[in-house]
Structure 1
Amino acid sequence: MKLLTFEYNGKRSAGVLSEDGKNVIKINIEGKEYEDIGYMLSSLKDISIEKIRKYRLDSKDSIPLSDVKLCAPIPYPNQDVICLGINYMAHAEESARYKEQAFGGERPFAVYFSKRVNEAVADGEYIDGHFDIVDSLDYEVELAVIIGKDAKNVKKEDIFEYILGYTILNDISARNLQTQHKQWYFGKSLDGFTPMGPWIVTTDEFVNPPELKISSKVNGEIRQDSSTDLFIFDIAHVVNELSQGMTLKAGTIISMGTPAGVGMGFVPPKFLKSGDIIECEIEGIGSIKNIIK
Structure 2
Amino acid sequence: MKLVSFMKNDQCNPGILINEEVIDLEKWSRKHRVAPVTSIIDIIKNECLLNELENLTMESTSGCSLKLETITLGPCIPDPEKIICVGLNYKKHAEETNTLPPDHPILFSKFRNSLAGHKQVIDIPKVTKKLDYEAELAIVIGKEAKNVPPEKAQEFIFGYTIANDLSARDLQMRTTQWLAGKNGDGFCPLGPCVVTKDDIMDPNLLEITTTLNGERRQSSNTSDMIFDCMTLVSSISELMTLYPGDLILTGTPEGVIHGYPEKDQHYLKDGDEIVIEIEQIGSLKNTFSS
Using the size of structure 2 for normalisation, the TM-score is 0.89
Contact kept in structure 1, 2:15 and 2:22, CA below 8 Å: no
Residue 24 of structure 1 corresponds to 23
Report runs of 4+ in structure 1 exceeding 3 Å deviation: 8-12, 27-30, 38-41, 44-49, 54-57
The equivalences for 1:266-285 within 5 A come to 266-267=260-261, 268=263, 269-285=265-281
Shift of 1:241: 1.2
Q: CA RMSD in A?
A: 2.3
Shift of 1:52: 4.2
Match of 1:222 among 197, 202, 216: 216
Contact kept in structure 2, 1:76 and 1:119, CA below 8 Å: no
Residue 36 of structure 1 corresponds to 39
Matched pairs, number: 281
> Given the superposition, is the C-alpha separation of residues 245 and 9 from structure 1 closer, same or farther in structure 2, using an over 3 Å criterion?
closer
> Given the superposition, is the C-alpha separation of residues 190 and 119 from structure 1 closer, same or farther in structure 2, using an over 3 Å criterion?
closer
Match of 1:114 among 109, 120, 135: 109
Q: Distance in 1 between matches of 2:182 and 2:114?
A: 13
Q: Distance in 2 between matches of 1:143 and 1:265?
A: 19
Q: Distance in 2 between matches of 1:261 and 1:128?
A: 22
- 2:252 match: secondary structure: coil
Q: Distance in 2 between matches of 1:30 and 1:53?
A: 18
> Given the superposition, is the C-alpha separation of residues 53 and 93 from structure 1 closer, same or farther in structure 2, using an over 3 Å criterion?
same
- Corresponding position: 1:53 with 2:48: no
Q: Distance in 2 between matches of 1:256 and 1:204?
A: 19
> Given the superposition, is the C-alpha separation of residues 22 and 290 from structure 1 closer, same or farther in structure 2, using an over 3 Å criterion?
same
Shift of 1:39: 5.9
Contact kept in structure 1, 2:81 and 2:243, CA below 8 Å: no
Shift of 1:11: 5.3
> Is 252-261 or 28-37 further displaced after alignment?
28-37
Match of 2:97 among 90, 95, 98: 95
Q: Distance in 2 between matches of 1:238 and 1:184?
A: 20
- 1:272 match: secondary structure: coil
Shift of 1:210: 4.0
Show CA shifts across 1:31-79 (max 9, x none): 22333324654xx376774254258992213322233222111123223
> Given the superposition, is the C-alpha separation of residues 210 and 47 from structure 1 closer, same or farther in structure 2, using an over 3 Å criterion?
farther
Residue 99 of structure 1 corresponds to none
Match of 1:252 among 236, 243, 246: 246
Residue 287 of structure 1 corresponds to 283
Using the size of structure 1 for normalisation, the TM-score is 0.88
Please list every run of 5 or more consecutive structure 2 residues that lacks an aligned counterpart in the other structure. Answer: none
